[in-house]
A and B are shown apart, each in its own frame.
Chain A
């Protein structure tokens, strides 16, 4: 019995660790704006950048250039915020990156794109790293 109990506890702890590791809508629950932006990320960005924000989205199977891993604190910290906003607004080619990253200006408002830049800083834990 004890063995099953311990195994059960282990599973619960493992599940909790996975849940805590994912900066998804649930992880941003304490902040309504982050939560709303996480929902936008889940709808539009996660198809390439991954449901765990790690650059491993379902569509990467056909991509010649892999999408950025938004959970990579070091790489994300090196990107100026203005460049992130420009890439989302005008597409990757506008900042000399891959044209596979499209412009989202027809889908997201300028305010939503600014919120997305804030959300990405939250996802990569870049603010904490500074």
Chain B
């Protein structure tokens, strides 16, 4: 009589243990097995519980636990089939910087290359990635009516200094941040505004400072950033 009870109890405990483990789980559900197999060795697919500076230094790829907030599907599907370098300094710029004169340089040969996948796999991975949401991004936070390209560009290039770390044209701008010259195809506007407002909400030890920007500034910058790269379509 006791055996079935013990088996049932064990099964219950196992189910609880599985439910509670820190697996690759997004806010909207579990990451697909294919996503876990293909991506989890380099990317965090669930919010890390050990967000430390040491973890930042040891990670192999950017976190993707908020990929569903961040990426446009069309860009993601195309990029997975033909990956280009998004971060001129590599995943972690400080691992590739070399002392130099007149300035330090990036050892570009050491910058990581992302593996390619075929079209069908890219589609499935993109769909699975778009399920991963942080809960930190508000739909409609960016108001397109507030866009002002002239002021946005001025803020990006001069007043707020974004260009110090990010390129808004290929080859023009800093190297430690991701390039933004195709941000309009790559990134969702509501994510851009949320991340720019407080990068540490997404990535607690990231080397992007917390900009102290007013709401109109955030709107103008976002309008400019999401316009970049769209003209090439």
Contact = CB atoms under 8 A, between A and B. Distances in A.
A14 B145 CA distance: 60
A45 B97 CA distance: 13
Interface string B171-196: 01111100000000000000000000
Nearest to B54: A39
Given A63-B164, A107-B205, A58 B175 contact: yes
A43 B209 contact: no
Given A58-B175, A105-B210, A106-B198, A47 B93 contact: yes
Given A58-B93, A106-B210, A107-B210, A51 B53 contact: no
Contacts of A105: 210
B93 A104 contact: no
**What range describes how many residues of B lie at the interface?**
35 or more
**What range describes how many residues of A lie at the interface?**
20 to 34
Interface string A92-128: 0000000110111111000000000000000000000
Q: Main SS of the interface on chain B?
A: loop
Interface string A46-89: 11101110001111111110000000000000000000000000
Given A47-B174, A48-B164, A56 B103 contact: yes
Interface of A: 22, 39-40, 42-44, 46-48, 50-52, 56-64, 91, 99-100, 102-107
B94 A60 contact: no
Interface of B: 53, 56-57, 89, 93-94, 97-106, 158-161, 163-165, 167, 172-176, 198, 200, 205, 207, 209-212
Q: Main SS of the interface on chain A?
A: loop
Given A39-B53, A43-B56, A106-B198, A58 B97 contact: yes
B139 to A, nearest CB: 25
B176 to A, nearest CB: 4
B105 A58 contact: yes
Contacts of B209: 44, 102-104, 106-107
Nearest to A50: B104
Contacts of B99: 22, 50-52, 56
Contact of A62 (B57, B89, B102, B173): B173
A50 B210 contact: no
A102 B89 CA distance: 20
Contacts of B207: 43-44, 47, 107
Nearest to A45: B207
